Amino acid sequence: MIVYLCRQDVSYDLIEAKVSWRERLKNRWQEGIRHRVTPLGAMMVALLLASGILAISTVQNVFFLLFSLLMASILISSFVNRLMLAGLEIRLRVPEHAMAREPIACQLEIENKKRWIASFALEIVVPVARRFSVPCVEGGLKISVPLNVEWTRRGGQDPMVVELSTRFPFGFSVRRIRLAMRVHGALYPSVRQQAGFDEVLSQILIRQAELASGADAEYSYLREYSAGDDWRRIAWGKSAQSINWIVREHKPTDEDRLRIELDAFSADFERSVNLAAFLVWELHFQSKPIIFVAGDWERPVAEARDAYAVLEFLATVKPKAWLKAPGDNKSVLL
| Per-residue pLDDT at 327 | 41
Structural domains in the chain?
2-183 (2.60.40.10), 189-197+254-334 (no CATH)
d(CA 41, CA 60): 25
Q: What is the residue type of 263?
A: D
d(CA 236, CA 211): 22
Longest Cα separation, the chain? 119
d(CA 186, CA 208): 32
Write down how long the chain is: 334
d(CA 180, CA 218): 59
Q: pLDDT digit string (tens) for 138-183?
A: 888 888 888 888 888 888 887 888 888 888 888 888 888 887 777 7
- CA torsion sign, 203 to 207 to 210 to 212? negative
* 238: enclosing H helix or E strand: helix 236-240
**Helix crossing, 304-316 with 269-285: angle to 10°?**
170
* Residues in the chain, pLDDT under 70: 1-21, 24-33, 128-129, 208-221, 228-231, 249-257, 321-334
Q: What is the residue type of 300?
A: P
d(CA 107, CA 327): 58
Q: Between β-strands 290-294 and 297-301, what pairing exists: parallel, antiparallel or unpaired?
A: antiparallel
| Per-residue pLDDT at 65 | 93
CB atoms under 10 Å from CB of 276, counted, come to: 23
| Per-residue pLDDT at 227 | 72
| Per-residue pLDDT at 328 | 38
| Per-residue pLDDT at 46 | 92
